[in-house]
Chain A
Amino acid sequence: MPLRIVLAKIGLDGHDRGIKVVARALRDAGMHVIYAGLWQTPEAVVRTVLDEDADWLGLSLLSGAHMTLVPKLVALLRSAGLDHVRVLVGGIIPEADVAKLHAAGVAKVFGPGTPLDEIVTYLNQPGEAHHV
């Protein structure tokens, strides 16, 4: 079965160009992309991941709210019993925050200019198979 990934933007950030480009690249790489779109709350995103039984969650933030919203979301994921879901973050993330996001439980941060192939290769690496 193709890998299932939820892509979402949390908070009031209205810039969805980047996440749509990533969505297209993952689709073309044979993945099933569940596009949750703009203006999602952390609670709604966790619910989406749960209902969609996704393997991965990709978050895009360009608003600077990542240190407020992402750790909260990861904690909500864990408390919903979704420990197996791995979280990617993309967007404008200052270097100093990358380690903090990793410490909060984010698997990988992809900054601006990341080649799309790099994201696809990361998701397809051995050991990243579906949990079922």
Chain B
Amino acid sequence: MSEWFARFEQHDRQALSRILSFIAQGKHPPELIDFLAKPSDQPVRVIAFTGSGGVGKSSLVGQLLELARREGKKVAILACDPESPISGGALLGDRFRMNAGADDGVFIRSLAAASGQGALAEHLELMIGALRRFGFDLIFLETVGAGQSDVAVRVLADVVVLLVQPEAGDDLQWEKAGVFEVADVIVVHKADLPGAEKTAAQVRASLDLSKQSQVLVFRVSSYKREGLGDLWQHLLNKPPRSGSQGLYHKMRGQLETFVRNRLQALWRQPDTEFQALLESWRRSDLPDERILRKVLVRLAGRSE
């Protein structure tokens, strides 16, 4: 694996691709975790796109990709499609709708999400880490055509875009709990179809009821290329989610990943002090805050 790290440092695209495969296959030796953990001052924005199958996630990503490239931004896309619960096979067809050609500034990886695992492939947090280190400006994360309760994407992304389409349900549909609550931006896609205005109004009304007035609703047609510019500017300029709830979820997700990966490393190289700490966390014999502090200090490699 180390030869791939060296080639990665040389900005070798094949090395990035192969390292993503190692990650996807669950091969995460400590040296990989350490490699990905190397600090990078590369500012990167992770934008997630979620919504039902057929709502137009890939098409919208394809359109935004064009805008990003026009501005010279380098974009990586992680596109998830479902894996068959019967055969284990998958048809990964998202890149078909993203016309990237042989552009050096675009990297697209198609991923299969195991059935029953929700809307995302596994180990995405490590893949995002690898893409960040490789120097992409933007990472687009496309979920599997998702149901109403696929909220895991929130911990991975700076901005979550939920796509809905006209006539997708009556106004009660927008009152249901779930993915609607984790969206930072809502796109009424296929806005060239009748009913888009009504759907946008219903969504707006629902958001205002739930005090999500900061969530903007955009009407966009990828087919007619309408409404894309405004959406794009908003996605680029919107501050990453910083409400306590959002930040908490994001940090918890990252922390869980970090702790899990460190544990994986520690199992090869026992660290009894750390293991005792985690054990007492599991037993809840100290307050979470107290344990967390110790865990963080330990992970940072300093004695308290």
Residue numbers of A with Cβ under 8 A of B are: 1-2, 23-24, 26-37, 41, 43-44, 46-48, 50-53, 80-82, 132
Contacts and interface: CB of A to CB of B under 8 A. Distances in A.
A36 B92 CA distance: 9
Interface string B56-99: 00000000000000000000000000011001111111011000
A27 B18 contact: no
Given A50-B14, A51-B17, A132-B21, A27 B100 contact: no
Interface stretch (B41-49, B108-116, B216-224, B285-293): B108-116
A53 B21 CA distance: 7
B89 A32 contact: yes
Given A35-B93, A50-B17, A44 B100 contact: yes
Contacts of B163: none
Contacts of A2: 88-90, 112
Given A1-B25, A30-B84, 15 more contacts: A2-B112, A26-B89, A28-B89, A30-B88, A30-B89, A33-B90, A34-B110, A41-B101, A44-B101, A50-B13, A51-B13, A51-B17, A51-B108, A52-B108, A53-B18
B110 A27 contact: no
A52 B13 contact: no
B274 interface: no
Contact of A36 (B21, B88, B96): B96
Given A51-B108, A53-B18, A132-B22, A35 B92 contact: yes
Interface in B204-250: none
A47 to B, nearest CB: 4
A12 to B, nearest CB: 15
Given A50-B14, A51-B108, A132-B21, A27 B101 contact: no
B109 A51 contact: yes
A52 B110 contact: yes
Nearest to A8: B96
B20 interface: yes
Contact of B102 (A24, A27, A33, A41): A41
B81 to A, nearest CB: 9
B130 to A, nearest CB: 12
A81 B89 contact: no
Nearest to A76: B102
